[in-house]
């Protein structure tokens, strides 16, 4: 019973490049959440997706960031034209339903370093 999978675990990009982070939710989970953790800070909500739908993207920066959760395949968080300030750990979580009392299971994270 695999947990939430994220890849890559570490990603190094130069300024201006694109970063693509992947998240495969737990089996049977159709709700995916992305969080970002900047150094010395807590996790900040970015976006909540269900299959083929963005439910809440209120935590996403308005530019350069996008997310999708297609019918088939993993959820993707895409960061275009990365800048040094994008360096952070990006965590994906999944849950069986979107209700707040449903536990969110977290993946191990992708640590993005922008040179």
**Residue numbers of the site for another protein (CB under 8 A)?**
4, 6, 31, 33, 35, 40-45, 48, 55-56, 91, 93, 95, 98-109
3-state secondary structure of 85: helix
Least distance (Å) between residue 39 CB and another protein: 11
Q: Which is nearer to another protein, 74 or 109 (CB)?
A: 109
Beta carbon nearer to another protein, 14 or 100: 100
- DSSP lists the bridge partners of residue 33 as 48, 93
Structure tokens at 2: 């695999």
Nearer to another protein, 42 or 72 (CB): 42
Helix/strand/coil for 84: helix
CB of 18 to another protein, least distance (A): 24
């Amino acid at each position: 019973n695999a947990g939430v999978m994220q890849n890559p675990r570490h990603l190094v990009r130069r300024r201006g490049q694109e970063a693509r982070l992947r998240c495969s939710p737990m089996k049977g989970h159709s709700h995916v959440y992305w969080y970002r953790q900047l150094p010395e800070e807590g996790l900040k909500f970015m976006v909540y997706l269900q299959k083929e739908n963005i439910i809440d993207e209120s935590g996403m920066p308005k530019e350069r960031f996008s997310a999708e959760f297609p019918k088939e395949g993993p959820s993707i968080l895409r960061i275009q034209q990365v800048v040094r300030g994008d360096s952070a750990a990006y965590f994906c979580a999944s849950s069986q339903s979107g209700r707040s009392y449903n536990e969110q299971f977290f993946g191990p994270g992708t640590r993005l370093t922008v040179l």
